[in-house]
Chains A and B, each alone.
Chain A
Amino acid sequence: MLRMAQVSKHYGSSVALDAVDFSVERGEVMALLGENGAGKSTLVKVLAGLEQPDSGTIEIEDRAVDLRSRSQARAAGIAYVAQELSILDHMSVAENVFLGDTSFGWLRRPSMLAKKAAPFLDLVGLGSIDPLKSAGSLSIAERQLVEIARLLSRSARIAILDEPTAALSDAETARVENVVMTLAAKGCSVIYVTHRLGEVFRLSQRVTILRNGRNFPAFPTRNIDVDGLIERMLGRRLDQMFPPRRAGEGDVVMSLRGCSTPGVRLPVSLEVRRGEILGFAGQLGSGAGAMIQAIAGARPLTAGTMTLEGCSYAPRSVRKAIRSGVAYCSDDRKRDGIFLGRPILENLSAPALERVTRFGLIDPRRERNLANGVAERFEIDRRRFGSAARTLSGGNQQKVALGKWIGTDPKVLLVEEPTRGVDVGARAEIYRHLRTLADQGLAVIFASSDTQEVHGLADRVATFYHGRLVRLGNTDAISLEDVTRDVTDADQGAAA
């Protein structure tokens, strides 16, 4: 059905896809696996017409196709459901099913649309939903299903689903899986990107694994087990990237007792010690990030209590958490991690403004001293203090986003995805800086969907899957494979 040969794609000097061969047969579900940054999204975007490959050929039913735009991909029979759903809340379910479909002309009578949408909604198990209802009231799983109904309405020959179940509960996941099987049974080829290995075995006939932009030949799912998958996904380790671990012998700085928050289904209890790096491993929607946000005061706690240095700690806002000594770097650096348009100096002093202020005036000497201190520890170029943060590379921006917290003397530093959008060289540097901060007595908690990163950097690891804490223990006692299994396939891992 679909055949990609020797497809390559570079972004600047980094290779996203390196001579990848990939094929899908008619009516087949092909699972596409790989670590973060392995090239899955690039591959999928090439097929969806969102990215152009540098070289290589793509054939559909033995005819070469040129996928230069989204509409060309659509015309070739390829339908793509992205991770970020495109459901318009204020429009009806039926309108959403036929979104972007102009074949009815410009007059779209609601009743006519509803009638046309009904069979597709039926196929995805949404037959009981009123097609005229506004899509805003749908759950995330239902939205996902509406997206698939849209895909059906376009009679796609090749369907690409990018982590469709990342944010779904088990029951909801089962609904999506059923629809995927229906889709394949109707002769549609499905490319299924996922981080959850259980789904791979339940759904797919064959698996393609990408690693560092290269692919292994696809193999039948029944010929491999979970361990085999994990082994192929991880491959060579970059041990020298990570600073040596430490035995966490410091006092307990923070403890959580039976804490849950939206996104974390089962209560979590844990402790963090001074000088320790605790890593939360988990994919998107696993609860690892949600737990960090709850500690940071960015998400409400629905149950449980937290203590900070023995005192009760219940931040109702990020601002209050910072005042208590808990600093938080979100995973969206460009949005709230740095002030892109402001000078680096101002970025570094922003959280600690009151410390450099006297009688309401900013003391330039104190501000510079504070910034110098950060720059020295995080190796930020002092000569560029006056330049806008925008002019820095991703890695240096991240150093600013992390380093600025030193000025507030926090007790606990929370970081989500510490190296997202950071190149490999700068990664090692950021790991080293986080380790230095811990060595100076800070407790660091970070969440990451990159299991190698968690296993390499953390002294202790907490694995999250599907809104619950799966395992908590010293990293030395847990193998990388265990961590990867926990975050991709905790249910089967527990059963084994």
Chain B
Amino acid sequence: MESARPPGDRVRVIRYAAALVTLAATLIVAGFTTPAFVTYDNFLAIVRAASITGIVAVGMSFVTISGNFFALSAGQMAAFLGILFAVATVAGLGVPAAILLTIATAILAGILQGMVINVIGNPIITTIAFGAVFGGLAAFMSGNTLIRVHDDAALAALRFGTARPLGIPTQSWAFFALALLSWFAIRTTRVGRLITLSGASPAAAAASGLPVGLSSVIAMVIFSCGPAIVAIFSVAQFSLAKADQFSGLDIDAIASVLVGGVALRGGQGSPVQAALGALLIAVLQNFMLLRGLTAGERMTIVGLVVVIAVAGFHLAQGRRR
């Protein structure tokens, strides 16, 4: 192993450190100024919020690393998959089968979106269009009403949505597990390397004989599992699904990826950074909520944080060259 840290690593360190330092600073400020912030219930609220955003953000980071910027279909896909899961459960399919069906549909949706991205070459347009399709399907399948799970057996099977093993919500365990798994996947698996290299330079990857098109498809499949997991947990937690449930999810997930410091142009970064970003956004949101900021004020501040983060990382990168 080499002992000296190669110079190229400096920016990577800056990117991690920036998110961590900001997170620590927000925690300290919030802790000292806002008594309600340092309670167990509030901790749970933050962790739960971070988990929902984080699961999607971790998946989204694969899309970003693969060089396809962002998928803008996360919220509508989650809404659609949530309704699908609820409808399947209500129809008496059984919770395990409904989970399988939901995940399988998500994978299919990922493959489709990935293939279309390869054809038209623009991930943003593709996922906006697919988002509309999923949103439409969600409204259509739900008939624009709440889908409630009443059946006792099903409700018993859905208890994992409100459970807290070791005092921490199941969602959060899933978030931590997925973040770890993703970190492992991007670092050590061949697929992870394929996605990173394809994002770093699609031309060089193709010239090296790597299947660049496949990498976009795989990244979209990994991404699509995020909304599916979030949707299943949400139905399990609230025993209901509705079409307009996840409206802010896209922006929060994108903000997490960016604030966490995943390089926008692809080929750099780690899902762990997106997870950190999700924590940071959740803490910030919670702090502002406790301070009584309105939804509009909160949105403005989160937007500004994203702008500052992206500009800062960009300048740090530029100065090195």
* Residues of chain A having any CB pair with chain B under 8 Å: 318-319, 322-323, 328, 330, 335-343, 346, 350-351, 353-354, 357, 360-362, 364, 383-388, 390-391, 404, 408
Q: Which residues of A contact B209 (CB under 8 A)?
A: 318-319, 322-323, 351, 408
**Which applies to chain A's interface (DSSP): helix, strand, loop or mixed?**
helix
Please list the 4 inter-chain residue pairs (A to B) with the smallest Cβ-Cβ separation, ordered nearest first. A322-B209, A388-B8, A336-B203, A387-B6
In the complex, the number of residue pairs spanning A and B with C-beta atoms less than 8 Å apart equals: 90
B197 interface contact, C-beta 8 A: yes
CB of B293 within 8 Å of the partner chain: no
Taking a contact as CB atoms under 8 Å apart, the answer to whether B188 and A362 are in contact is yes
A342 to B204, CA, bound (A): 11
Chain B 64-101, CB within 8 Å of chain A: the 1/0 string?
Answer: 00000000000000000000000000000000000000
The reply to whether B204 and A335 contact each other, CB–CB distance below 8 Å, is: yes
B9-22 CB mask vs A (1 if < 8 Å, else 0) is 10000000000000
A interface footprint on B185-200 (CB within 8 Å = 1, 0 otherwise)? 0001111011011001
Q: Is the CB of A361 within 8 A of B190?
A: yes
Per the 8 Å Cβ criterion, residues 27-49 of B in contact with A are: none
Contact partner of A328 (CB less than 8 A), chosen from B2, B201, B207, is B207
The winner among A319, A330, A354 for most chain B CB atoms within 10 A is A319
* Given pairs A351-B210, A357-B190, 16 additional interface contacts (CB within 8 A): A318-B206, A319-B206, A319-B209, A328-B207, A335-B203, A336-B201, A338-B201, A346-B197, A350-B197, A350-B210, A353-B193, A360-B190, A388-B8, A391-B7, A404-B208, A408-B209
21 contacts between A and B (CB under 8 A): A318-B209, A319-B209, A319-B210, A335-B201, A336-B206, A338-B201, A338-B204, A339-B197, A341-B268, A342-B196, A343-B6, A343-B8, A350-B204, A351-B208, A361-B190, A362-B189, A383-B2, A386-B5, A387-B7, A388-B6, A388-B8
Assembly CA distance A364 to B1 (angstroms): 11
B205 within 8 A of partner (CB): yes
B196, closest chain A residue (CB): A342
Which residues on B sit within 8 Å (CB–CB) of A404? Answer: 208
Q: List the A side residues contacting B197 at CB < 8 Å.
A: 339, 342, 346, 350
Hey, which chain A residues are within 8 Å of B194, CB to CB?
353
The smallest C-beta distance from B100 to any residue of chain A, in angstroms, reads 22
Give the interface centre of A318, A337, A342 by most chain B CB atoms within 10 Å: A342
B residues in contact with A342, CB < 8 Å: 196-197, 200, 267
Contact A337 B193 (CB under 8 A): no
Bound complex: CA of A328 vs CA of B207, how far in Å?
8
A337 CB contacts on chain B under 8 angstroms = 204, 207
Known: A342-B267, A387-B6, A391-B7. A354 touches B190 (CB 8 A): yes
* Residues in A whose Cβ lies below 8 Å from that of B196: 342, 346
Residue pair B188, A361 in contact (C-beta under 8 Å):
yes
Which of the residues B188, B193, B207 comes within 8 Å of A346, measured between beta carbons?
B193
**Please, how many angstroms separate the alpha-carbon atoms of A341 and B201 in the complex?**
9
Question: Contacts of A388 on B, CB cut-off 8 Å?
Answer: 6, 8
By CB atoms of chain A within 10 A, which of B5, B191, B207, B210 has the most? Answer: B207
Closest to A389 in B: B8
**B58 to A: closest C-beta gap in Å:** 19
Asked if residues A350 and B190 are in contact (CB atoms below 8 Å), the reply is no
Closest CB-CB distance, A53 to chain B, in whole Å?
26
Report if B4 contacts A (CB, 8 A).
yes
Query: Which B residues are in CB contact (< 8 Å) with A390?
Result: 8
Looking at B191, B200, B267, the one whose CB has the most chain A CB atoms below 10 A away is B200
CA separation between A189 and B205, bound complex, in Å? 47
Residue contact B211 to A350, C-beta cutoff 8 Å: no
Residue in A336, A351, A354, A386 whose CB lies within 8 Å of B8: A386
Partner of A319, one of B201, B203, B211: B211
Cβ contact within 8 Å between B2 and A385: yes
Interface members, chain B 222-278 (any A CB < 8 Å): 267-268
> Is B189 within 8 A of A361, CB to CB?
yes
Q: Is A391 touching B207 in the complex (CB atoms < 8 A)?
A: no
CA distance A299 to B279 in the complex (A): 49
CA distance A303 to B94 in the complex (A): 61
- In the assembled complex, the Cα of A339 lies from the Cα of B267 at a distance in Å of 9
Closest residue on chain A to residue B192 by CB atoms: A362
Q: Which residue of B lies closest to A327 (CB)?
A: B209
B residues in contact with A318, CB < 8 Å: 206-207, 209
Binary flags per residue of B160-203, CB closer than 8 Å to A gives 1, else 0: 00000000000000000000000000001111011011001101
For A360, what are the chain B residues with a Cβ–Cβ distance below 8 Å? 189-191
> Distance (Å) between the CB of A471 and the closest chain B CB?
30
Q: Could you tell me the distance in whole angstroms from the C-beta of B283 to the nearest C-beta in chain A?
A: 31
Select the residue from B191, B194, B201 with max chain A CB neighbours within 10 A: B201
Which of B191, B194, B206, B208: most chain A Cβ within 10 A? B208
* Contact (Cβ within 8 A) A341 B189: no
**Structural contact, A341 and B200, CB atoms closer than 8 A:** yes
In the bound complex, CA of A304 to CA of B7 (Å): 50
- Complexed CA–CA distance, A230 and B189 (Å): 56
Within 8 Å CB of A330, what residues of B? 207
A322 proximity list for chain B (CB < 8 A)? 208-209
Q: Contacts A353-B190, A353-B194, A360-B189 known; A386 to B200 CB distance under 8 Å?
A: no
Give chain B residues whose Cβ lies under 8 Å from the Cβ of A362.
188-190, 193
Contacts of B191 in A (CB 8 A): 360
Q: Could you say which residues of chain A place their CB within 8 Å of the CB of B204?
A: 335-339, 350
Whole-angstrom distance between the Cβ of B229 and the nearest chain A Cβ = 22
Chain B residue at minimal CB-CB distance from A321 = B209
Bound-state Cα–Cα, A484 to B206, Å: 34
A381 to chain B, nearest CB (A): 11
Which A residues touch B201, using CB under 8 A?
335-336, 338-341
**Least Cβ–Cβ distance between B191 and chain A, in angstroms:** 7
- B188 close to A391 (CB less than 8 A): no
